[in-house]
Structure 1
Amino acid sequence: MGTQPKVIFTIYHPNSKPLKREVVLVSSSQVGYSGIEVTEYAKVDVQLVYPSDNNAILKIETCESNDELNLKPLDVATTIMSGANTEYMLVPGHYRFEVITSKSHFVSYYTVRSKDFSDESLLNLRLYLESLLQGLSYDIIRQKLGMATPIVDFNPTLLQLFQFINKYKGPIQRNLDMILQDPITDLIGEYTASPAPRKLDSKSFRWQAQKGEQKKSLSSYPSLYYTKHATLTFNNIENQWIKFIIYFFLQRFRKLEMSFQKEILQVSQKIKHQNIILQQNRKQIEIGNNAFGYKKSLEGLNRNKKRIINRIEELEKEKGSYIEYRKFLRQLNNFFTEYEENNWIKQIPIFKPRKITQRLLKDYRYRKIYLLYKELVKIESKKIESNLPGLQFRRTWQLFEYYNVGLVINILRENNYKWVDGWLASKDSPHHHIGTLPPDTILRFEKEDSDHYIEVAYDTEIESTIIDQSYSRYFNNVGRRPDIRITIYHQDGSLYSDKAGLIVESKCRRHKYLINQNIDPDVKLQLRDFKNLEYFDSLAFHRGNDPVKTPINKVIVLYPKQSGVDPVKADHVYGESMLYIQVEPSDPNSDIKSFGYDILKEKIDDFLSQIQVEEGAYVK
């Protein structure tokens, strides 16, 4: 029977026995590394063992919630990582846990490593996204209790502000309540006309000599003197700060509420679009093979229907979350408006004081409100030096997808295309603030006075069949969703050429699971479907021409750099029309280009070479 508490980690890997690791905790004022290291897709259970204190508590993060899990020694082993690529998986970084007993407090942490990237590559990936995509990624290596040296922080988002306000609403409200009940006040002296007091100063006699006779024009009017009185005032620097901070918070609440309202409207439009696709799917099941693209069995169409229904459910859940956020913000807005309407607060003008007083810093209530305000300002000004926890960060494969979108954007810019619409380029896009690259995002790139434009579609829903024949679009009878689809269009919306499309797919996989001449990996079927992606041309249909085209010029697969294999390889079946390119982010602050960037640019440049500059001339 040990005298120290133990935390037992059980790590599950496919095709091997579970591995049990014990962490014996030693009381210390420092945060100690547990020695536990797991990969991001492993399943992990945890259990607290401490027979001498059954009331001890283990606090640890779990994949199922952003809140900490509380476990006692009598509890069974509990899963903190599900071992799958899910919405709630724990992604690479350091994770703190603590054990609180009746006599001691133990703090430690364990590490989740990326399956595909080194720590340096992950850091470069994060920095690249921050510099190019304006704060798109979330923290990959979290700083908790001094576990890691602070790193340059990324551009903030409104969602960070929301999480900050949500986390600290309690301390903000409690301290404001205490301030309103007993604010700092000052005694000030002021002169007023009043009957003669017992003591008069020289200023009172001067006033009486100069002004007093006018006041005594009526015989019944008593003698008046200008006398000094002491009175209380709330209008001091400390309370001016409180008035300004209340106003500051109210402005942020209203800004956040508007952003979430935009999110609700946008998600509602996505739900509407998915319902249209669902109706088309059901209609296709009913009408049989009288529409373009009907090459599937009833079983396949039903699979598509289930996938669309699941997507609608996800969007409904997302919409519900934003509605709850908006409701919470409205409650806070009402609460802080009551503060603003307080009698003595209303007497103070709204402006930002120029200095901080020692009296403010010595009063715990005022100091707490001021320091929380400063933390929020740091988030907004992008000068993060705070120990406050950041947002739950993105999974590695998501960051890799975002990184590859960034590469495509950069290459198009280097080809003198201007990013004119979509995502960060959209002035009204709430996703600029929320800090994510949502599915079904369409980016548009143009050159001045050109006869064409380029569309970059990220993770877009593609219809499985064509029911409505009034407009042109891609379709795929097996329901595939390419990560990045690049298409060149004439200004009238028609395809620029018969091979005006290019697919760029992101795969966080080992080389042998992508390219294997002995057996086709499962991903090959998906890539083949991307290569054969079809396009319905409504103009050709109405002219009586063949409306179905296959415009994909090439499928490029980007995957993490790996030693011992060729960095660029053509498919052994499809040749150069299906190309595998290794990439690895470099430090964006250096002059070194990311590994694989040049070859990717060369292939995209070749694709763009079909664009005519003038009669008989082409871009190379």
Structure 2
Amino acid sequence: MGMQIKLVLNYKIFVNGKFIDTEIGENIVTINKELFPNGDLGEEIFSFSEYTRTEMKFFCSDIQAKVEIETYESEDMVTLIPQQEILLSPGGEKENMLVPGFYQILIQTSECTFKGFYKVLPSSMDWERLLNMRNYLEKTVKGLSYNIYIQRSGNHEKNFEHNIFFFELYKYLNKNADILLNNIRAIIDNPITDIFKEYKIKSYTKSNSSKSQRWLNSKGYKYNSNVYNPSMHYEKHSSISLDTRENKVIKKILDYFYKILLEILDNYNKIKKELLERRMNLNEQIKETERHFEKIKSIPSTKKAQKETELTIKRLNEESEEYFKNINIIDNYLNEINKIKNFIVQYKEETWLNEIDPNIVIKPTTRLMKNRHYNEVYEIYCKQEAMLAQGKVSNAFPVKNTSKLFEIYSCLLVKKILEEMDFQWTDGWLKNIDDIMAYNGDLVSGEKIILKKDKFTIELIYDNELNKIKDVKNTRISQVVSVNSKSRRPDIILNLYKENKYKGSAIVEVKYRKKHYIYNNHEDTDVIYQLRDYSSLRYYDGEKNKLDTTSSVGKIIVVYPKQNGACKFKDNVSDFAFVQIEATDLTKEKPYGYEEVKEEICEFLTMYDAI
């Protein structure tokens, strides 16, 4: 029987404040050459839910064997030897938990190597819905960022997408620059080498061969005064060569990145030149408008024209300042690009790589794939090459656990519903980011999105902890506050104003759970207690230093992932609405539950004639 490898997985779930064994309990994964003859473990050698506490112990009959595996506690692979165990994921909802996705595992023995992935699954939705949600968030945030970028730069030309593509190439390289350069530095210090043997003239002897003797008889007299007692010898010696296929690949990859950086630099220098010209023309327009204002400001009959001219000057100055900010942003890009380029030039021309001829097709060898530093450089190259081939860059939404992604998805869903009702997004979130194209698209806690329609304004605020009334009295800052509530951090709150006067609020609470953990007919869940707290929130008028006597919350909606049962139901006592949502691409179709959430928001707005 061949060598046996076993991975013993122990699973626990968090229930009522403690971890207990799951129904599976323990899972034993067996790995050997018979089961995996080519060493490929596939994409799912084992799997577990994102909220499951998972420990793994490594067993192998080869004492030289080791496992390298990705875990929650480090971005680098963690190494195990036989009999060692490790915590892969801590379980529960923690910031450093493993989010759904694929994680690498590499097993090396004295006989063979196995490589593959294990999979972390979403807990309350299927894999396809999770991918739909992630893809939508990536596409939506990227699209919103680009639209704002277009508005700010005034760039409506046909080659705008081309410029965006170059930006994404830069963003990818800049994001991976430290990894790339650190690995190149490690390769320079400890390269892959070949050992070869060649005949050399040396002042010492180790192995006198027949060829060495022939040399001594025919040419030895040129180097020795006495060939019968020679001091110089011609023998075969081992030498180390840096001119390996792996080093040729690295040199060619550096040449590849260097050419891309030159293209990116050229593209951004063109954009900078265009912005400078536009700002110069705008400044001339400002001067001309100011001269016109000087001519009319002393004429009493031109009061209206003076006011309009002053507003024009203010608007033009704001546009000029916006150009100035964007020029500075481009300068920062250029500095970062040049920094990466200069490092690459230094490694190419001032180290032993200068002597390497890169005239080779980039193709990985076994030695390259097994060496972590060479392999990571090659993987960065492969991803960059794939982007160029596709003409686009895959820009992943910030890594978050599924419950957070579901919250952000729900927040954008509510925003889309309001925009469908003719509310216009005017301020907040992406519109407040100076360096819009360097922004990763995250929606952070406390973020505020402002939407307006006619006389009405809505503040859509995400995951913000409300103040207690005792903390805001006499501050003259008007806001929705908690009076005696334990729960005061709604996932989404909509504050409605008419002509800057507060009218009321609605709350959308997002729960990434199974329905029976949210609502059941036998007893009140923690969610119900939370919603009752929200229903007692009130509005504090800072100008009058007065607290409303009744609740400010006119509507409470709970959204949760699609499951069995009715799409929407209401609690008979409190009138809380519970709606199932299926995460799909909102740009292509309205997801399951969309119309039901919209109906509830319409009811809220109708209370104040805001529709």
Residue of structure 1 equivalent to 2:3: 3
Instruction: For 1:535-614, list aligned pairs within 5 A.
Output: 535-541=539-545, 546=547, 550-563=551-564, 565-575=565-575, 578-588=576-586, 590-591=588-589, 593-612=590-609
Say if 2:82 is the partner of 1:70: no
Residue of structure 2 equivalent to 1:481: 489
Instruction: For 1:36-75, list aligned pairs within 5 A.
Output: 36-51=46-61, 53-75=62-84
- Structure 2 counterpart SS, 1:553: strand
| Aligned positions, number | 434
Quote how far apart the aligned CAs of 1:69 are: 1.4
- From the superposition, tell whether residues 337 and 601 of structure 1 become closer, same or farther in structure 2 (CA, over 3 Å): same
Asked if 2 retains the 8 angstrom alpha-carbon contact of 1:469 and 1:538, the reply is: yes
Could you tell me how far apart the structure 2 residues matched to 1:374 and 1:3 are? 34
Quote how far apart the aligned CAs of 1:250 are: 8.0
Give the one of 165, 180, 187 matched to 1:168.
180
- From the superposition, tell whether residues 238 and 424 of structure 1 become closer, same or farther in structure 2 (CA, over 3 Å): closer
Could you tell me how far apart the structure 1 residues matched to 2:3 and 2:478 are? 72
Amino acid at match of 2:177: I
Say if 2:113 is the partner of 1:105: yes
Residue of structure 1 equivalent to 2:452: 446
Could you tell me how far apart the structure 2 residues matched to 1:133 and 1:531 are? 32
Amino acid at match of 1:566: A
Instruction: For 1:103-252, list aligned pairs within 5 A.
Output: 103-134=111-142, 161-171=173-183, 245=260
Asked if 1 retains the 8 angstrom alpha-carbon contact of 2:3 and 2:32, the reply is: no
Quote how far apart the aligned CAs of 1:606 are: 2.0
Give the one of 457, 469, 473 matched to 2:475.
469
Amino acid at match of 1:404: S
Structure 1: tracts of 5 or more residues without a match: 138-152, 179-236, 255-328, 346-358, 613-617
Amino acid at match of 1:168: L
- From the superposition, tell whether residues 373 and 110 of structure 1 become closer, same or farther in structure 2 (CA, over 3 Å): closer
Question: Which whole-Å deviations, capped at 9, do the CAs of 1:328-380 have from their partners, x for residues lacking one?
Answer: x99997675466799999xxxxxxxxxxxxx9763879xx9999678558669
Question: Which whole-Å deviations, capped at 9, do the CAs of 1:49-107 have from their partners, x for residues lacking one?
Answer: 013x22311111111222221111032x2110111111111122233312111221012
Quote how far apart the aligned CAs of 1:240 are: 9.6
Could you tell me how far apart the structure 2 residues matched to 1:434 and 1:595 are? 28
Say if 2:89 is the partner of 1:81: yes
Give the one of 483, 490, 505 matched to 2:509.
505
Could you tell me how far apart the structure 1 residues matched to 2:51 and 2:254 are? 52
Could you tell me how far apart the structure 2 residues matched to 1:468 and 1:579 are? 35
Quote how far apart the aligned CAs of 1:24 are: 1.6
Residue of structure 1 equivalent to 2:426: 420
Amino acid at match of 2:553: I
Say if 2:405 is the partner of 1:399: yes
Instruction: For 1:325-336, list aligned pairs within 5 A.
Output: 336=341
Could you tell me how far apart the structure 2 residues matched to 1:239 and 1:514 are? 55
Could you tell me how far apart the structure 2 residues matched to 1:48 and 1:110 are? 15
Amino acid at match of 2:466: I
Could you tell me how far apart the structure 2 residues matched to 1:602 and 1:451 are? 22
Give the one of 504, 514, 532 matched to 2:536.
532
Sequence identity of aligned pairs in percent?
28
Structure 2-normalised TM-score?
Answer: 0.61
Instruction: For 1:273-284, list aligned pairs within 5 A.
Output: none
Instruction: For 1:371-382, list aligned pairs within 5 A.
Output: 375-376=383-384
Could you tell me how far apart the structure 1 residues matched to 2:107 and 2:522 are? 51
Asked if 2 retains the 8 angstrom alpha-carbon contact of 1:124 and 1:588, the reply is: no
Asked if 2 retains the 8 angstrom alpha-carbon contact of 1:482 and 1:503, the reply is: yes
- Structure 1 counterpart SS, 2:132: helix
- Structure 1 counterpart SS, 2:534: helix
Quote how far apart the aligned CAs of 1:127 are: 2.7
Structure 1-normalised TM-score?
Answer: 0.61
Could you tell me how far apart the structure 2 residues matched to 1:239 and 1:562 are? 51
- From the superposition, tell whether residues 419 and 391 of structure 1 become closer, same or farther in structure 2 (CA, over 3 Å): closer
- From the superposition, tell whether residues 43 and 94 of structure 1 become closer, same or farther in structure 2 (CA, over 3 Å): same
Could you tell me how far apart the structure 1 residues matched to 2:21 and 2:183 are? 48
Could you tell me how far apart the structure 2 residues matched to 1:562 and 1:173 are? 52
More helix as a share of residues: 2
Asked if 1 retains the 8 angstrom alpha-carbon contact of 2:137 and 2:397, the reply is: no
Asked if 1 retains the 8 angstrom alpha-carbon contact of 2:53 and 2:92, the reply is: yes
Could you tell me how far apart the structure 2 residues matched to 1:371 and 1:104 are? 22
Say if 2:523 is the partner of 1:522: no
- From the superposition, tell whether residues 539 and 488 of structure 1 become closer, same or farther in structure 2 (CA, over 3 Å): same
Amino acid at match of 1:395: N
Question: Which whole-Å deviations, capped at 9, do the CAs of 1:92-150 have from their partners, x for residues lacking one?
Answer: 2233312111221012333222211012221222233233333799xxxxxxxxxxxxx
Residue of structure 1 equivalent to 2:239: none
Could you tell me how far apart the structure 1 residues matched to 2:602 and 2:413 are? 13
Question: Which whole-Å deviations, capped at 9, do the CAs of 1:195-243 have from their partners, x for residues lacking one?
Answer: xxxxxxxxxxxxxxxxxxxxxxxxxxxxxxxxxxxxxxxxxx9999776
Quote how far apart the aligned CAs of 1:512 are: 1.3
Amino acid at match of 2:118: Y
Structure 2: tracts of 5 or more residues without a match: 14-18, 146-164, 191-251, 270-333, 351-356, 364-373
Residue of structure 1 equivalent to 2:162: none
Asked if 1 retains the 8 angstrom alpha-carbon contact of 2:50 and 2:100, the reply is: yes
Asked if 2 retains the 8 angstrom alpha-carbon contact of 1:59 and 1:98, the reply is: yes
